[in-house]
């Protein structure tokens, strides 16, 4: 058997705070590290070289894809793994990269875990299968100046396109959405300017409007976000393609965040019918029903979220929507329906599944104060756990 080789390809700029952690997590399983530096002024290059990486200078030209492709041209491995500097491979999974090099596939996905909030918390993540491994010398390259993606549609045969990309059991942690990393307003301005340049190009991808909507959503400019996510949906429909589930997740996130519940109904039902296995969409449907005071229907919907769970990595899934957050809202529905004991049990179970999710703890405290007579009848002190 010929030994197959794995090349790590990355682009960096001023990443001294995180690049060492990233490279240390993968150094023992890759055969070469190809690092393209676009103009660092800190110790990034020095740190990369200390891990044995080959570092190539690339003057920034306004295109992340161009920088990544510059690195691909210098990679000699049979397979390419691409990572970002603010990512880290799970220490117990890294060795598995050596096994997948002998798969017959052209593309493989990993389990990407995106942290959000103040600090890394396993209960505050967005999880998804993300394509990070691909065969070298097959014509793969990155496209789009920002939010770059592989040109899989140009490389794969029509038969290959009908087959789902395998997800290998390798976890990669992404820290770039944490508050202390993502608070730089200049990043929003830079991204938006680059995306609008892409939007001005003839025959631009519908993904560009999606990414613009995402940028506006992050800074709570909901009207602009809603306009662009709808443009993205129309763009995919005009190409006779089903809009990806991400678009509907963002659309209803915007409507709920902006309080535009009337605009979310009954469209959410159509989105759920397109993606019946997507727990986030069912959860949003439950929220909308709850806000509309349709508590019995909301209860049924949140219970279905528990059935779906959160293991489906084909969709970007928020941790908790198929577990502790669904249980919390089940408790809220039961409380509204007068089922106090059942509500208390649901709140208790929700809080036991996440030590950092405070809502069910507070709800249970208020419930016990409000219904002390019921808890006494249950022979439970008002300050006890149910």
Mean pLDDT of 22-45: 98
Would you say 267 and 235 are in contact if contact means Cβ atoms under 8 Å apart? no
pLDDT at 234 over 80: yes
pLDDT band at 256 (very low <50, low <70, confident <90, very high): very high
Closest CA to 73 of 18, 136, 13: 136
How does pLDDT run across 63-119, given as a tens digit for each residue? 999 999 999 999 999 999 999 999 999 999 999 999 999 999 999 999 999 999 999
pLDDT at 382 over 60: no
CA atoms within 13 A on the CB side of 40: 22
Query: Per the structure block, which two tokens stand in for 220?
Result: 């709570």
* φ, ψ (nearest 5 deg) of residue 302: -65, -35
Supply the DSSP string of 167-226, one letter for each residue. EEEEEEEE-TTBHHHH--HHHHHHHHHHHHHHHTSTT--HHHHHHHHHHHHHTT-HHHHH
Closest CA to 356 of 116, 113, 122: 122
Helix (H, G, I), strand (E, B) or coil at 172: strand
Longest dimension (CA), the chain: 74
How does pLDDT run across 278-329, given as a tens digit for each residue? 999 999 999 999 999 999 999 999 999 999 999 999 999 999 999 999 999 9
**34, β-bridge pairs:** 9, 54
Q: What is the pLDDT of residue 291?
A: 95
CA distance 249 to 105: 29
Q: What is the pLDDT of residue 144?
A: 93
**32, β-bridge pairs:** 7
Q: In what helix (H) or strand (E) does residue 7 lie, and over which residues does it extend?
A: strand 6-12
Strands 107-115 and 167-174: parallel
pLDDT at 384 over 80: no
All domains in the chain, ordered by first residue: 6-181 (3.90.550.10)
Q: What is the pLDDT of residue 33?
A: 99
How does pLDDT run across 88-101, given as a tens digit for each residue? 999 999 999 999 99
* φ, ψ (nearest 5 deg) of residue 114: -95, 115
Q: What is the pLDDT of residue 386?
A: 47
Query: 């059942």: which residue's tokens?
Result: 342
pLDDT at 1 over 70: no
* Least confidently predicted of 13-22, 171-180, 241-250, 366-375: 366-375
């Amino acid at each position: 058997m010929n030994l197959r080789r794995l090349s790590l390809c990355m682009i960096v700029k001023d990443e001294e705070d995180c690049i060492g952690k990233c490279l240390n997590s993968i150094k023992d399983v890759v055969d070469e590290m190809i690092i393209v530096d676009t103009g660092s002024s800190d110790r990034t290059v020095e740190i990369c070289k200390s891990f044995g990486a080959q570092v190539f200078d690339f003057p920034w030209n306004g295109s992340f894809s161009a920088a990544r492709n510059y690195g691909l041209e210098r990679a000699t491995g049979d397979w390419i793994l691409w990572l970002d500097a603010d990512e880290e491979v799970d220490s117990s999974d890294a060795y598995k990269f050596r096994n997948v090099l002998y798969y017959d596939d052209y593309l493989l996905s990993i389990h990407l875990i995106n942290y959000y909030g103040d600090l890394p918390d396993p209960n505050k993540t967005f999880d998804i299968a993300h394509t990070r491994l691909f065969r070298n010398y097959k014509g793969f390259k990155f496209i789009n100046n920002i939010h770059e993606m592989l040109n899989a549609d140009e490389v794969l045969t029509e038969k290959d396109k009908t087959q789902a990309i395998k997800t290998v059991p390798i976890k990669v942690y992404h820290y770039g959405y944490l508050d202390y990393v993502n608070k730089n307003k200049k990043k929003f301005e830079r991204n938006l300017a680059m995306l609008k340049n892409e939007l001005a190009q003839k025959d631009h991808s519908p993904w560009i409007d999606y990414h613009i909507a995402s940028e506006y959503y992050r800074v709570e400019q909901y009207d602009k976000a809603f306009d662009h996510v709808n443009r993205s949906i129309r763009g995919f429909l005009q190409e006779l393609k089903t809009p990806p589930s991400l678009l509907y997740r963002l659309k209803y996130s915007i409507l709920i965040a902006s309080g535009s519940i009337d605009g979310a109904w009954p469209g959410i039902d159509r989105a759920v019918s397109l993606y019946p296995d997507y727990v986030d969409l069912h959860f949003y449907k439950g929220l909308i029903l709850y806000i509309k005071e349709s508590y019995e229907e909301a209860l049924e919907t949140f219970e279905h979220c528990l059935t779906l769970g959160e293991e489906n990595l084909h969709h970007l899934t928020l941790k908790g929507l198929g577990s502790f957050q669904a249980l919390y809202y089940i408790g809220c529905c039961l409380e509204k329906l007068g089922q106090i004991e059942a509500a208390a049990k649901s709140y208790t179970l929700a809080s036991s599944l996440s030590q950092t999710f405070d809502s069910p703890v507070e709800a249970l405290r208020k419930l016990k104060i409000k219904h002390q007579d019921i808890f006494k009848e249950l022979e439970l002190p008002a300050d006890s756990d149910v």
